[in-house]
Amino acid sequence: MMVSEAQKRAAAKYNREKMVQRVVRFSPNERDLLAHLDAQPNKAGYLKALIRADMEQSRE
């Protein structure tokens, strides 16, 4: 399915106005962490689940 230019512009506008992005950098000493993250099929979902679990643990 082809995406129209209007759909691309709308998606870009939505992302620009509604979404927030963060960047994580890994040093060469953290290759094991990067490899583990790369092995996850849904990286964003994995990171969000870790953060939610940490937040829940902090409440206890």
pLDDT score, position 43: 97
Are the CB atoms for 17 and 26 separated by under 8 Å?
no
pLDDT score, position 60: 86
Asked if pLDDT for residue 52 goes beyond 90, the answer is: yes
Global pTM exceeds 0.75: yes
Q: Where are the alpha helices (H) located in 1-60, listed in sequence order?
A: 5-18, 31-38, 43-59
pLDDT tens digits for range 12-46: 999 999 999 999 999 999 999 999 999 999 999 99
Asked if pLDDT for residue 58 goes beyond 90, the answer is: yes
pLDDT score, position 14: 98
